[in-house]
Structure 1
Amino acid sequence: MICDEQEAMELCRRVGSDGSLGRLAIFAELLKEENERQNLVSTASLAVVWQRHLADSAQLLLHAPAGLLGPWLDLGTGAGLPGLVIAALRPELPVLLVESRRRRVEWLSRAAAELALVNCRVLGARLEDVESTPAAIISARAFAPLGKLLGLSARFSTRETVWLLPKGRKAAQELQEQPVAIREMFHVEQSCTDPEAGILVGKGTPKLP
């Protein structure tokens, strides 16, 4: 379990590529500056930004398949969590960020440009209006309840798609509320940044009612 900022930085270094920590340090500063203009994350969380946001996003790479080529599709990415963090850690990996709110789309585009993340594309639209494209990874952090999330995004998945869905302290409860086919598709992994939080990890195309 990650207990402090130094351990959080070490995780980011371990799962990233050369230059990852430098890019993430810049991202952290950009996030703090923008948070004064629009409410991207809680102000209190910025005191532990590496643990609460950067490592919390980076840990998803621990559950990604080896040799991942992408694309990585991040739904409702908001402040760029986890999508922009993943793009900064793995600049060779195509990452698509879906966000409908105009001010956040502008922020994401500026941040990606300042970090020179040519692998990162911001799709400023509602998910319902995004053209279907098969994704290797689908992630979402605080986007929608699990049933709704799967209903909206199943069309982006294939038999090989891996789902990485940080669900906080209600991960197990949300999964238990789903039909049997969904419960069998996913399992809960312990978050390494919060002892009470979980990540729903699954593979394939969900069988929806």
Structure 2
Amino acid sequence: MARLDRLVELLVAENERQNLIARGTIPMVWQRHIVDSAQLLTVPRETLPKGAWLDLGTGAGFPGLVIAALQPQRPVTLVDSRRLRTEWLARAAAELGLSQVNVVLSRVEDLPDQTYAVLSARAFAPLDKLLTISSRFSTPETMWLLPKGAKAAQEVAILPETWRHVFHVEQSLTDPAAGVIAGRLLGGHPPKPARQSGAASQRGSRR
């Protein structure tokens, strides 16, 4: 709790210099950001696997930095493509004494191949797109934890059948209208784009 208290202090102070979170959410920062992130440790129906955690598009460190504060012995990699964000994340992790946190300035597409025990992304991209760019970080044992809004169940329902998975939606503990997609990706790949006919391709090339 001391680490989380300090994290909130650092977050609010830095928010005066760069827009980490919407100002309107500061009065409810514990529910909206801290508890919303921490719930990922309890939401899944099964015990979380031990090992490295990858948080994609971490932004202000949600959920990854909160997870690291609660489980300081777990290696947690925070990825974001904005330099100011990653510079602050590195300072915050050092301030909190979280030596197991690795902050990476990168687009997800440019990350080197490596697999992780847990993979999270908070409203980073639609599920199908997220799997397309991130499935290479996963094994059939990897637990995916994806906080989503009201369309969580719909995103799972419309996922192409080419993805083999055991995803389900858990009710968010902090927002009755939101859900958390949880589960494992067993394999598969994004569907191939439909091939154009010769005539259509020629018309397209003349445009």
Q: TM-score range by the shorter chain?
A: 0.7 to 0.9
CA contact 1:154–1:205 (8 Å) conserved in 2: no
CA distance 1:110–1:152, change in 2 (3 Å): same
Instruction: Tell me the residue number matched to 1:189.
Output: 170
Report the 3-state secondary structure (helix = DSSP H, G, I; strand = E; otherwise coil) of the residue aligned with 2:102.
Answer: strand
Instruction: Tell me the residue number matched to 1:39.
Output: 19
Instruction: Tell me the residue number matched to 1:198.
Output: 179
1:183 Cα deviation after fit: 8.0
State how far apart, in whole Å, the 2-side matches of 1:46 and 1:189 are: 26
Q: Which residue among 65, 70, 78 is the counterpart of 1:89?
A: 70
Instruction: Tell me the residue number matched to 2:87.
Output: 106
Confirm whether residue 50 of structure 1 aligns to residue 37 of structure 2. Answer: no
Report the 3-state secondary structure (helix = DSSP H, G, I; strand = E; otherwise coil) of the residue aligned with 2:51.
Answer: coil
State how far apart, in whole Å, the 1-side matches of 2:181 and 2:33 are: 17
CA RMSD of superposed structures (Å): 1.5
Where structure 2 has 5 or more consecutive residues not aligned to the other structure, the ranges are 192-207
- The letter for the 1-side match of 2:138 is S
- % identical equivalent positions: 58
Runs of 4+ in 1 over 6 A off after TM superposition: none
TM-score, normalised to structure 1's length?
A: 0.86
Q: Which residue among 112, 122, 125 is the counterpart of 2:103?
A: 122
1:184 Cα deviation after fit: 5.1
Confirm whether residue 26 of structure 1 aligns to residue 11 of structure 2. Answer: no
Q: How many residues align?
A: 189
1:182 Cα deviation after fit: 4.3
| Mean CA deviation greater in 66-75 or 133-142 | 66-75
Instruction: Tell me the residue number matched to 2:188.
Output: 207
State how far apart, in whole Å, the 2-side matches of 1:129 and 1:150 are: 15
CA distance 1:204–1:72, change in 2 (3 Å): same
State how far apart, in whole Å, the 1-side matches of 2:138 and 2:180 are: 18
CA contact 1:74–1:97 (8 Å) conserved in 2: yes
1:70 Cα deviation after fit: 1.5
1:134 Cα deviation after fit: 1.0
| Mean CA deviation greater in 172-181 or 25-34 | 172-181
1:117 Cα deviation after fit: 0.3
Report the 3-state secondary structure (helix = DSSP H, G, I; strand = E; otherwise coil) of the residue aligned with 2:89.
Answer: helix
- The letter for the 2-side match of 1:45 is T
Report the 3-state secondary structure (helix = DSSP H, G, I; strand = E; otherwise coil) of the residue aligned with 2:34.
Answer: helix
- The letter for the 2-side match of 1:199 is V
Instruction: Tell me the residue number matched to 2:41.
Output: 61
TM-score, normalised to structure 2's length?
A: 0.86
Where structure 1 has 5 or more consecutive residues not aligned to the other structure, the ranges are 1-20
Mark the structure with the bigger radius of gyration. 2
